[in-house]
Amino acid sequence: MIVGHRGAAALVPENTLCGIKKAADIGIHWVEIDTQLTADGIPVIFHDETVDRCTNGSGKLASFTLNQLKQLDAGSWFDPKFKNEQVPTLEQALHLCIEQNLCLNLEIKVHHSDQVAALVANVAAAIMPSGFPLDKLLLSSFSLSALKACQSLMPDIRRGYITEEKHIDYLYKVEQLDLYSVHVKHSLLTDEMATEITGRGYVLNIWTLNDPSKCAAFSAMKVSDIITDNPLLFSNVEPSWN
Protein backbone atom coordinates (compact mmCIF):
# COMPACT_ATOMS: atom_id res chain seq x y z
CA MET A 1 0.00 0.00 0.00
CA ILE A 2 1.36 3.38 -1.02
CA VAL A 3 0.98 6.31 1.39
CA GLY A 4 1.51 9.90 0.22
CA HIS A 5 4.07 11.57 2.49
CA ARG A 6 2.80 14.95 3.72
CA GLY A 7 0.19 14.64 0.98
CA ALA A 8 2.36 14.29 -2.12
CA ALA A 9 5.43 16.25 -1.08
CA ALA A 10 7.42 15.84 -4.31
CA LEU A 11 4.57 17.09 -6.47
CA VAL A 12 2.89 19.96 -4.59
CA PRO A 13 3.56 21.89 -1.37
CA GLU A 14 3.69 19.52 1.59
CA ASN A 15 1.03 19.41 4.29
CA THR A 16 -1.47 21.48 2.33
CA LEU A 17 -5.01 20.91 1.17
CA CYS A 18 -3.78 20.80 -2.43
CA GLY A 19 -1.37 18.05 -1.35
CA ILE A 20 -4.21 15.97 0.03
CA LYS A 21 -6.26 16.60 -3.11
CA LYS A 22 -3.29 15.67 -5.31
CA ALA A 23 -2.91 12.34 -3.51
CA ALA A 24 -6.58 11.61 -4.10
CA ASP A 25 -6.32 12.59 -7.77
CA ILE A 26 -3.39 10.19 -8.22
CA GLY A 27 -5.60 7.41 -6.94
CA ILE A 28 -3.84 6.33 -3.74
CA HIS A 29 -5.90 5.58 -0.66
CA TRP A 30 -3.69 6.84 2.18
CA VAL A 31 -2.00 10.11 3.04
CA GLU A 32 0.37 10.96 5.88
CA ILE A 33 0.33 14.49 7.33
CA ASP A 34 1.65 16.17 10.48
CA THR A 35 -0.18 18.15 13.12
CA GLN A 36 0.92 20.59 15.82
CA LEU A 37 -0.63 23.52 17.71
CA THR A 38 -0.78 27.24 17.05
CA ALA A 39 -0.27 29.75 19.86
CA ASP A 40 -4.03 29.76 20.42
CA GLY A 41 -4.24 25.98 20.61
CA ILE A 42 -5.59 25.11 17.16
CA PRO A 43 -4.23 21.91 15.56
CA VAL A 44 -2.83 22.74 12.13
CA ILE A 45 -1.08 20.70 9.46
CA PHE A 46 2.64 21.45 9.49
CA HIS A 47 5.89 19.54 9.96
CA ASP A 48 8.73 21.84 10.99
CA GLU A 49 9.11 23.62 14.31
CA THR A 50 9.54 26.90 12.43
CA VAL A 51 7.60 28.29 9.48
CA ASP A 52 10.76 29.42 7.68
CA ARG A 53 11.17 26.58 5.17
CA CYS A 54 7.59 26.17 3.99
CA THR A 55 6.13 29.68 4.19
CA ASN A 56 7.19 33.27 3.59
CA GLY A 57 7.21 33.84 7.36
CA SER A 58 9.82 33.37 10.05
CA GLY A 59 9.76 32.02 13.58
CA LYS A 60 8.35 29.11 15.53
CA LEU A 61 4.94 27.95 14.40
CA ALA A 62 3.84 27.71 18.03
CA SER A 63 4.29 31.50 18.34
CA PHE A 64 1.68 32.22 15.64
CA THR A 65 -2.04 32.40 16.27
CA LEU A 66 -4.20 30.72 13.66
CA ASN A 67 -5.19 34.09 12.22
CA GLN A 68 -1.53 35.11 11.90
CA LEU A 69 -0.64 31.77 10.35
CA LYS A 70 -3.40 32.09 7.76
CA GLN A 71 -1.79 35.31 6.50
CA LEU A 72 1.32 33.40 5.41
CA ASP A 73 1.96 32.07 1.92
CA ALA A 74 2.53 28.33 2.28
CA GLY A 75 2.87 27.54 -1.41
CA SER A 76 5.23 29.88 -3.26
CA TRP A 77 8.34 28.33 -1.70
CA PHE A 78 7.51 25.23 -3.76
CA ASP A 79 6.31 26.94 -6.92
CA PRO A 80 4.83 30.42 -7.53
CA LYS A 81 1.64 28.88 -8.92
CA PHE A 82 0.79 27.73 -5.37
CA LYS A 83 1.05 31.22 -3.84
CA ASN A 84 -2.50 31.14 -2.47
CA GLU A 85 -2.00 28.00 -0.38
CA GLN A 86 -2.44 28.41 3.35
CA VAL A 87 -1.43 26.30 6.32
CA PRO A 88 -4.59 24.21 6.85
CA THR A 89 -6.21 23.36 10.14
CA LEU A 90 -6.59 19.74 11.16
CA GLU A 91 -10.34 20.22 10.91
CA GLN A 92 -10.01 21.27 7.26
CA ALA A 93 -7.76 18.32 6.50
CA LEU A 94 -10.10 15.83 8.15
CA HIS A 95 -13.09 17.06 6.19
CA LEU A 96 -11.16 17.01 2.91
CA CYS A 97 -10.00 13.45 3.53
CA ILE A 98 -13.60 12.44 4.22
CA GLU A 99 -14.73 14.21 1.03
CA GLN A 100 -12.00 12.51 -1.01
CA ASN A 101 -12.54 9.11 0.66
CA LEU A 102 -8.93 9.01 1.87
CA CYS A 103 -7.49 7.12 4.80
CA LEU A 104 -5.27 9.19 7.06
CA ASN A 105 -2.02 8.55 8.90
CA LEU A 106 -1.89 11.57 11.21
CA GLU A 107 1.50 12.17 12.80
CA ILE A 108 1.38 13.86 16.18
CA LYS A 109 4.36 16.16 15.72
CA VAL A 110 6.02 16.84 19.07
CA HIS A 111 8.94 19.26 19.10
CA HIS A 112 9.05 19.62 22.91
CA SER A 113 7.74 17.23 25.54
CA ASP A 114 5.72 19.93 27.31
CA GLN A 115 3.53 20.21 24.20
CA VAL A 116 2.16 16.68 24.42
CA ALA A 117 -0.84 17.06 26.74
CA ALA A 118 -2.38 20.07 25.00
CA LEU A 119 -1.60 18.78 21.53
CA VAL A 120 -3.21 15.37 22.00
CA ALA A 121 -6.21 16.83 23.82
CA ASN A 122 -6.87 19.35 21.06
CA VAL A 123 -6.32 16.77 18.33
CA ALA A 124 -8.89 14.56 20.04
CA ALA A 125 -11.28 17.50 20.25
CA ALA A 126 -10.94 17.99 16.49
CA ILE A 127 -11.23 14.33 15.51
CA MET A 128 -14.12 13.12 17.64
CA PRO A 129 -16.86 15.45 16.28
CA SER A 130 -15.56 15.26 12.70
CA GLY A 131 -17.23 11.96 11.89
CA PHE A 132 -13.96 10.62 10.48
CA PRO A 133 -14.26 6.82 10.10
CA LEU A 134 -11.99 5.37 12.76
CA ASP A 135 -11.15 2.37 10.57
CA LYS A 136 -9.56 4.82 8.12
CA LEU A 137 -7.46 6.62 10.72
CA LEU A 138 -4.05 5.92 12.22
CA LEU A 139 -2.31 8.15 14.78
CA SER A 140 1.48 7.97 14.68
CA SER A 141 4.32 9.66 16.51
CA PHE A 142 7.98 9.51 17.44
CA SER A 143 6.85 10.47 20.94
CA LEU A 144 6.00 7.62 23.30
CA SER A 145 4.31 10.05 25.66
CA ALA A 146 2.10 11.30 22.83
CA LEU A 147 1.12 7.74 21.94
CA LYS A 148 0.35 7.04 25.59
CA ALA A 149 -1.87 10.13 25.70
CA CYS A 150 -3.60 9.01 22.48
CA GLN A 151 -4.17 5.60 24.04
CA SER A 152 -5.83 7.28 27.02
CA LEU A 153 -7.95 9.86 25.18
CA MET A 154 -8.65 8.01 21.90
CA PRO A 155 -8.32 4.31 22.71
CA ASP A 156 -10.41 3.22 19.71
CA ILE A 157 -8.06 4.83 17.18
CA ARG A 158 -5.10 2.76 15.97
CA ARG A 159 -1.63 3.95 16.93
CA GLY A 160 1.80 3.59 15.33
CA TYR A 161 5.30 4.27 16.64
CA ILE A 162 7.69 6.04 14.25
CA THR A 163 11.36 5.28 14.74
CA GLU A 164 14.78 5.81 13.22
CA GLU A 165 16.51 3.79 15.91
CA LYS A 166 19.09 1.31 14.69
CA HIS A 167 18.26 -1.27 17.35
CA ILE A 168 14.92 -2.72 18.37
CA ASP A 169 15.22 -2.17 22.12
CA TYR A 170 12.26 0.20 21.79
CA LEU A 171 9.99 -2.79 21.27
CA TYR A 172 10.22 -3.42 25.00
CA LYS A 173 9.31 0.19 25.76
CA VAL A 174 6.15 0.14 23.64
CA GLU A 175 4.70 -3.12 24.95
CA GLN A 176 2.08 -1.36 27.09
CA LEU A 177 0.88 0.96 24.34
CA ASP A 178 -1.21 -1.58 22.43
CA LEU A 179 0.24 -0.40 19.13
CA TYR A 180 -1.08 -1.32 15.73
CA SER A 181 2.05 -0.54 13.74
CA VAL A 182 5.74 0.33 13.78
CA HIS A 183 7.08 2.76 11.18
CA VAL A 184 10.80 2.34 10.45
CA LYS A 185 13.11 4.55 8.40
CA HIS A 186 13.52 2.44 5.27
CA SER A 187 17.30 2.73 5.09
CA LEU A 188 17.65 1.20 8.55
CA LEU A 189 15.33 -1.78 8.15
CA THR A 190 17.02 -5.18 8.15
CA ASP A 191 15.60 -8.67 7.77
CA GLU A 192 16.19 -9.31 11.46
CA MET A 193 14.39 -6.14 12.52
CA ALA A 194 11.46 -6.88 10.23
CA THR A 195 11.15 -10.43 11.54
CA GLU A 196 11.16 -9.22 15.14
CA ILE A 197 8.59 -6.47 14.51
CA THR A 198 6.14 -8.55 12.49
CA GLY A 199 6.70 -11.54 14.78
CA ARG A 200 5.31 -9.47 17.64
CA GLY A 201 2.14 -8.85 15.66
CA TYR A 202 2.80 -5.28 14.55
CA VAL A 203 2.05 -4.00 11.07
CA LEU A 204 5.37 -2.88 9.58
CA ASN A 205 5.52 0.39 7.65
CA ILE A 206 8.50 2.22 6.18
CA TRP A 207 9.33 5.87 5.43
CA THR A 208 10.23 7.66 3.18
CA LEU A 209 10.96 5.51 0.12
CA ASN A 210 11.23 7.11 -3.32
CA ASP A 211 12.81 4.18 -5.18
CA PRO A 212 10.23 1.69 -6.49
CA SER A 213 12.94 -0.81 -7.45
CA LYS A 214 13.27 -1.67 -3.76
CA CYS A 215 9.64 -2.71 -3.34
CA ALA A 216 10.30 -6.39 -3.88
CA ALA A 217 12.90 -6.50 -1.12
CA PHE A 218 10.59 -4.76 1.32
CA SER A 219 7.71 -6.97 0.31
CA ALA A 220 9.85 -9.97 1.29
CA MET A 221 10.27 -8.36 4.72
CA LYS A 222 6.47 -8.21 5.07
CA VAL A 223 6.32 -4.43 4.89
CA SER A 224 2.68 -3.35 4.69
CA ASP A 225 2.79 0.37 3.86
CA ILE A 226 5.35 2.38 1.92
CA ILE A 227 5.35 6.10 2.66
CA THR A 228 6.66 8.08 -0.31
CA ASP A 229 7.00 11.68 -1.44
CA ASN A 230 6.01 10.75 -4.99
CA PRO A 231 3.26 8.15 -5.33
CA LEU A 232 3.44 8.44 -9.12
CA LEU A 233 6.76 6.59 -9.07
CA PHE A 234 4.94 3.52 -7.79
CA SER A 235 2.01 3.59 -10.20
CA ASN A 236 3.36 0.68 -12.24
CA VAL A 237 4.65 -1.38 -9.33
CA GLU A 238 2.78 -4.59 -8.63
CA PRO A 239 1.44 -4.18 -5.07
CA SER A 240 2.69 -7.56 -3.92
CA TRP A 241 3.01 -6.39 -0.32
CA ASN A 242 -0.79 -6.22 0.09
Q: For residue range 102-125, what is the model confidence (pLDDT) as tens digits?
A: 999 999 999 999 999 999 999 999
* The pLDDT of residue 73 is above 80: yes
The whole-number pLDDT of residue 242 equals: 43
pLDDT at residue number 174: 97
Per-residue pLDDT at 238 exceeds 60: no
What pTM did the predictor assign? 0.96
Segment 55-80 mean pLDDT: 98
At 235, the pLDDT band (50, 70, 90 cuts) reads confident
Letter for the amino acid at 234? F
Architecture of domain 2-234: Alpha-Beta Barrel (3.20)
The answer to whether residue 129 scores a pLDDT higher than 70 is yes
pLDDT tens digits, 13-28: 999 999 999 999 999 9
Q: How confident is the model at residue 241 (pLDDT cuts 50, 70, 90)?
A: very low
What is the distance between the alpha carbons of residues 183 and 85, in angstroms, rounded to a whole number? Answer: 29
Q: In the chain, where are the structural domains located?
A: 2-234
What is the mean pLDDT of the segment spanning 219-226?
A: 97
Confidence of residue 236 (pLDDT cuts 50, 70, 90): confident
